[in-house]
Amino acid sequence: MINAISEIVEIESPSHDPERNRKAADWVEAAFRGIPIDLSIERIAAEGFGDHLLIKAFPENKKGVLVLGHIDTVHPVGTKEKNPTRVEDGRMYGCGIFDMKANVVVMIEALRYLAQTGIRPPLPLTFLLSCDEEVGSFSGRELVENEAVDSEFCLVCEPSSLGRVKTGRKGTGVFTLKAHGLPAHAGLEPERGASAILELARQIEKLQALNDPSAGTSVNVCTIRGGTTTNVIPEHAECTIDVRFTSTAAAKRILSVLRTLKPFDERVTLSVLGDINRPPMERTAAVAALYEKARSIAASFDYELGETQVGGGSDGNFVGALGVPVLDGLGIFGDGAHTLHEHILVSDIAKRATLVTLLLAAG
Whether residue 234 has pLDDT greater than 90: yes
pLDDT tens sequence across 99-139: 999 999 999 999 999 999 999 999 999 999 999 999 999 99
pLDDT for 248 equals 86
Mean pLDDT of the chain: 97
pLDDT band at 43 (very low <50, low <70, confident <90, very high): very high
Whether residue 8 has pLDDT greater than 90: yes
| Average pLDDT estimate for 45-53 | 97
pTM: 0.90
| Average pLDDT estimate for 19-34 | 98
| Average pLDDT estimate for 22-38 | 98
pLDDT band at 312 (very low <50, low <70, confident <90, very high): confident
pLDDT tens sequence across 296-305: 999 999 999 9
In sequence order, what DSSP letters do the residues of 241-283 get, joined into one string?
EEEEESSHHHHHHHHHHHHT---SSTTSEEEEEEEEEE--B--
d(C-alpha 291, C-alpha 304), whole Å? 12
pLDDT tens sequence across 247-296: 888 999 999 999 999 999 999 999 999 999 999 999 999 999 999 999 99
| Average pLDDT estimate for 42-58 | 98
d(C-alpha 102, C-alpha 284), whole Å? 29
Whether residue 47 has pLDDT greater than 90: yes
Q: 69: Cβ–Cβ under 8 A, 6 or more apart, which residues?
A: 100, 103, 104, 107, 127, 128, 129, 130, 156, 157, 158
| Residues comprising the chain, all counted | 363
d(C-alpha 208, C-alpha 115), whole Å? 54
Mode of pairing for the β-strands spanning 125-130 and 64-70: parallel
Task: Name the DSSP class of 98.
Answer: I
pLDDT tens sequence across 115-125: 999 999 999 99
d(C-alpha 39, C-alpha 57), whole Å? 5
